[in-house]
Amino acid sequence: MVKDPNGSEGPTLAQVSESELLEGIFPLLPGGHGVLLGPGDDAALVAAPDGKVVATTDAMVRDRDWRDDWSTGADVGAKTVAQNLADVAAMGAVPTGLLVTLIADPATPLAWVHDFATGLAEAAREAGAPVVGGDLSSAPPGMLVVSVTALGDLEGREPVLRSGARPGDVVAVAGSLGRSHAGWRLLERGVPGRAPELVDYHRRPRPAYRQGPLAAEAGVHAMLDLSDGLVRDAGRVARASGVGVDLSREALQADVAALAGAVGEEMAWECVLTGGEEHSLLGCFPAHVPLPHGWRRVGAVVGGEGVTLDGQAQGPGGWDHFAG
């Protein structure tokens, strides 16, 4: 037993062999009938019935993307699944596999790694995404990084791009807005008890994955997942499509009201408009199509460019990774 850098006691990664570690983790992870070959060989083999495969990747870094005093290993595991599978859903695809890389200081407690695997497995199982492979690397002191790749299948549908929005489309959202950022604000202020459900959503977002394929079937013109904030991500659709997006203050009022009690009205607007890590889906639907159940209108696609709120220009807001 050694003391780990967090002060807790228990075995660390340095005290088990790679194969012992994997033998402890593999049984936790969900498989699936599309996994033709899972972890243990040089590579995995995953069914791609559509003859094409959707692929995306997203990483999380301790002390950048999470803090150990705010998020457990299980939270991190669940969140990294959500981030990746929201991207798969935003293409209109269903998940077919996850590859999970853990890059860790050997002094990392084994308990953290098991907790991480448990949270990841739970979120992956819920979303129907088998874990098919991964990598383990040791890292210099203090470093803990998780990198996930998600694969998906379009089941015969066309991929839904960011570039298909047309003036007149209804802009709609499936899932919540601003909850993750509001929860983060409460943690930052040291008052997580004021709205534990928001803090919980910050720790473990639960994107409406199944709304991605449903929207694609309904004929959505453009779609993405809200990872960097509504205004910034709507701006991406606007830029890719050569259109403008006008958000409706009235339509967002209920989202703001849901947060205002916990963070105040002004901050609630900031959370709804620019809060990142929500991983809800934003879609632009043809006006004549009834919105699928689970989607609600938040604005309209218009001529011009950029993002407006009731016609007023909005700055980019949201998150830039390397901004100094």
Known binding-site residues equal 42, 56-58, 65, 87, 134-135, 162, 225, 227-228, 277, 319
Residue placing its CB nearer to a copy of itself in the complex, 103 or 260: 103
Q: Whole-number minimum distance, CB 246 to a copy of itself, in Å?
A: 22
CA 90, 95, 97, 101 dihedral sign is: positive
> What does DSSP say about strands 94-104 and 35-37: parallel, antiparallel, or unpaired?
unpaired
Q: Whole-number minimum distance, CB 194 to a copy of itself, in Å?
A: 29
Residue placing its CB nearer to a copy of itself in the complex, 195 or 211: 211
Q: Whole-number minimum distance, CB 7 to a copy of itself, in Å?
A: 19
Q: Whole-number minimum distance, CB 169 to a copy of itself, in Å?
A: 17
Residue placing its CB nearer to a copy of itself in the complex, 87 or 255: 87
- What kind and span of H or E run contains 298? strand 295-302
Reading the block at residue 171, the tokens are 């802009």
Residue placing its CB nearer to a copy of itself in the complex, 59 or 218: 59
Assess contact for 147 and 57: CB atoms under 8 A. yes
What does the alpha-carbon distance between residue 280 and residue 286 come to, in Å, rounded to a whole number? 20
3-class secondary structure, 246: strand
Binding residues for substrate: 65, 277, 319
What does the alpha-carbon distance between residue 44 and residue 51 come to, in Å, rounded to a whole number? 17
Q: Whole-number minimum distance, CB 260 to a copy of itself, in Å?
A: 30
Residue placing its CB nearer to a copy of itself in the complex, 47 or 251: 47
Q: Find the angle CA(280)-CA(284)-CA(288) to the nearest 5 degrees.
A: 130
Assess contact for 198 and 179: CB atoms under 8 A. yes
Q: Whole-number minimum distance, CB 266 to a copy of itself, in Å?
A: 27
Reading the block at residue 202, the tokens are 């910050």
Residue placing its CB nearer to a copy of itself in the complex, 263 or 282: 282
Reading the block at residue 239, the tokens are 């830029």
Burial 1-33 (b: 16+ CB within 10 A, else e): eeebeeeeeeebbeebeeeebeeebeebbbebe
Edge-first strand order for the sheet with 144-153 is 131-138, 94-104, 144-153
Residue placing its CB nearer to a copy of itself in the complex, 192 or 317: 317
Binding residues for Mg(2+): 42, 56-58, 87, 135, 225, 228
Q: Whole-number minimum distance, CB 110 to a copy of itself, in Å?
A: 10
Reading the block at residue 305, the tokens are 């460019």
Q: Quickly tell me which residue has 């040291």 as its tokens.
A: 190
